[in-house]
Structure 1
Amino acid sequence: MGALRVEDIYPRYTYDDYINWEDRWELINGIAYSMAPAPTIKHQKISNNIAWELNNIFKDCSFCTATIFVDWKISEDTIVQPDNLVICHKPKNEKYLTKAPVIIFEILSKSTAKKDLTVKFELYEKEGVKYYCIVNPDDEVAKVYELKDGKYIKAGDFSDERFKFKIDKCDDLKEFDFSKIW
């Protein structure tokens, strides 16, 4: 007898189930993850500040758009809502993204930290997200990972420093100022 897998214990869901649910959920490999409770005030403040910084550095790049959480439908059984993201493509529809963002920020909370650090780390790496930024609001540190040869390499830990995202379609981007997100 083989070891039990998560798939053997929990029910499996698809996008058709997901679109009928109340509240905020994510679906990863058919497993439903509640996004409750709602984010804290500090979480929302940091997310707003990240959005402001991203909009500022991408304002002169007509190819890319910074946005807050939106559905990214990776497959019929995997739909995620990153806290902040940058896309450099025109979405096929207004309901959800189907192509990988180039930058994703996830802000850790007690209810999402394990998933953000493991499941989403592996998922975003596999899906080709160029930059994954994991923001710890308690320590006021953001870990930035860059995808190189299909694997995330840590670019650094940032609190008050600046970082320049390198995006093919946007040559002259300003640096992202991490001191402004806290």
Structure 2
Amino acid sequence: MKSLLEYGHWSSGQPGYFCVSAAFMRAIWLRGRIYEGSKMSSAYEFSPHYTASDYQHWKGDWELWEGIAIAMSPSPFGRHQLALTELAGLIRNAIHDAGCDARTVVELDWIVSDDTVVRPDVMVVGGDPPERHLEKAPAVAVEVLSESTRRNDLGYKRQLYHQHGIAAYLIVDPQEKTVVLDRRQDDGGYQTENLNDSVAFRVCDDCEIKFSVEALFR
């Protein structure tokens, strides 16, 4: 089996931290999401295990996946940024019009656990917005796909959001102009819906918001 050193490189911009490549993430994913039963894969044993406290001191754009430091790609421009801006505005306006006690936050850290921190493109949270970061699961998470994030958004992060029981996970593809919604069911499972006309999802127990797909890609 390949060692960790064959899958990544040491980052000159973040001394002491290892930039893990997509190839390495795929390797550990195929080995049972890092763990094989109770035995860790040898690739994982060579990876430094960081915590959310470590993460707070890092410079640059990172996420932390089960103790592994993930260097984020620079923010995409063009269609991705336009779709993100439009989407955040549509959700914010829909929440206001529906009178929901919820807030829209953009690119804010969600501290999932002691060793996992992610930064969804958009989140909807109930009540007052957090001052620094989110420490509980949002009602809704949204990711706008790009070439550099597609695999992560449809793979690890999708499963993570499902595991933590968010009400809805919205996946927007500005290249293909498609919208997919993973909606949580009463039994805790998720139903995947391809949305063509309108987007509707619940942001709290008694409040649902709705906007058109056409408005997102106009």
Q: Pick closer, same or farther for the CA change 1:9–1:114 going to 2, 3 Å.
A: farther
- Aligned pairs for 1:105-124 within 5 A: 105-124=142-161
Counterpart for residue 80 of structure 1: 118
Counterpart for residue 181 of structure 1: 216
Counterpart for residue 49 of structure 1: 86
**Fraction of identical pairs, as percent:** 31
Distance 1:5 1:115 in 2: 22
The unaligned stretches of length 5 or more in structure 1 are none
Q: Pick closer, same or farther for the CA change 1:3–1:75 going to 2, 3 Å.
A: closer
- Aligned pairs for 1:132-147 within 5 A: 132-147=169-184
Structure 1 length-normalised TM: 0.88
Counterpart for residue 45 of structure 2: 8
Q: Pick closer, same or farther for the CA change 1:69–1:5 going to 2, 3 Å.
A: farther
63-72 vs 33-42, which deviates more? Answer: 33-42
- Output the aligned Cα RMSD: 1.9
Number of corresponding residues: 177
8 Å CA contact 2:203, 2:209 repeated in 1? no
Matched, 1:128 2:165: yes
Structure 2 length-normalised TM: 0.74
Matched, 1:153 2:191: yes
Within the candidate set 56, 60, 70, 2:108 is matched to: 70
Within the candidate set 166, 171, 174, 2:202 is matched to: 166
8 Å CA contact 1:105, 1:134 repeated in 2? yes
8 Å CA contact 1:69, 1:81 repeated in 2? yes
Paired amino acid for 2:124: V
What is the CA deviation profile of residues 75-111 of structure 1, one whole-angstrom value per residue up to 9, with x for unaligned ones? 11111110011011445x5111111111111011122
Q: Which has the larger radius of gyration?
A: 2
Distance 2:53 2:204 in 1: 35
Look up the SS of the partner of 1:87 in the other structure: strand
Distance 1:6 1:49 in 2: 41
Q: Pick closer, same or farther for the CA change 1:122–1:174 going to 2, 3 Å.
A: closer
Distance 2:144 2:180 in 1: 11
Which structure is higher in RCO with an 8 Å CA cutoff and minimum separation 6? 1
Counterpart for residue 102 of structure 1: 139
Structure 1 consecutive aligned stretches of length 4 or more whose deviation exceeds 6 Å: none
